[in-house]
A and B are shown apart, each in its own frame.
Chain A
């Protein structure tokens, strides 16, 4: 029999202290029954003899110390999963909110998951064509990668994420593909943008959505991404689907975590975020990947808005240390009208080297990629110098580099949110831009490749 306790001692912020409980376990899920019969949920954060400290998942409004009852359910927070989840919309706590019937679960899974044994991981190496040149050509995404978008308020990260979700495909395959979308504390309008974009393209039937809006309880946000990832793990590793997970916005998640940490009076790390923010984020991000003996994969695109566009803020900083690269959006490019405004130089995909080259994309990919990076970087330096000293102060070569940088932004980076370029188009465009520069400058490209794609003029 499940015991009920009427011994709530304290409610403060998202935390509640209950006295004289028996047999309660760490991380166990609890239910609070309010005097009016409504139910709230909570999770055990700390046990001190027969006192337990719990964290509420919903608001504490209406909890009455004298008459509310608490039960502990003997398990952690779980999500009932099934293939029928595709095409459905759930709340941030995993309840159906699209008005449809309840899901009959195939399985109940703990939302915290378990770490993947590194010996059982399969190294991601399958090229995903997103149709975006700055990603495919320069920061290649592969199946099983976690590649966040670092954005700022007012930048079109949602458009870029939707474009990737719409266009992403592994060439030469036509496999089970699904999208799991978690809205973490974003506005209705932003969530609606994604939903209508998915509807327009028909992707909605292959999408599972978990929606926690800005108006919902902040504390729920702790669970929302974990719910989404649990669903994704089920689809990927038990149903062998290739799942693209979009989490937006991680900044809201981290703030909810900070709220709990502050309520517990923990020693804060930088900017008030708890010292375990890195570990906490890692337990989510690391759930992406591929496993041996398993077809499916989880590719993750977390989106976060950098406060004040500051890359060294703890949230982007710690994310960058865990994820396998980052796509950074630039306000300067956005002002110039270049879309998507991907800031090429600080963006990075760590897994690109295994996903490109002959048999995957094209033999000239690695060389041209490095050449474009270093040429663009030199071009930007030349342009900076030009601002200070005027064009006349540049050497003829640096003038060419400056021109290259301009054309690169106009043609390569700028493609809008609807153009879908194949990798060949992207690579050919790269060559045509490099030809602005003298052939002798192509130090990053192997001579054999250079001779093939840019024959010497005799």
Chain B
């Protein structure tokens, strides 16, 4: 491990740093620049794994593992769940709507970055002690000793915070049913009374070669029926219109069969009429 009182790390670590730092920065930039939220999330997960490696390299073994298990494993998956809930394929428009926002953000970011870098550069941190001493009894044991002695109140309070957060999340997303759910009978009566969609809604995939939920049924004239897809998908704009594709497929099929029957064009014509 790293000797105490050094000012330079091992070459192996240096190589690892320079490779992984590029990956981490790339992941961070991708997080910011990717149009789709799901891509951003994946890039961020990558960056976090790189960070976990850095933690391990810095002697923070427990944190490195926790970073992977809790952050990348749990939190990022939570992000992905929500992304799925909100709409995985919805992409941000890249056009900025607030005038000057991008320039200001870039300016602030640049200035902030320069300040941070200048601050670090000024701090004369050429020398480091290394964790050999602190980690001598095992990293996890050392952390545990601190957490349950010096930081025990902070630890307890953090526990309370977590419980509160869990309750808060439930309260925020919970919807109280304030009236009895209508039975099927009542719903059908209501439909008759309102004279709207008395018959069942068309199922997706009818007259089509797909039966996926996001592909609307085709009406007899070949146009898609909006009613046949779920309102959630419609709201997200995730309806895939394949009516044109179906017609094109049909045309292609006819073309192919004509080519195959080219030897006897009359037969073919008769067959087509048939």
Binding between chains A and B: no
Q: Which A positions have Cβ atoms within 8 angstroms of B?
A: none
Interface residues of B (CB under 8 A from A): none
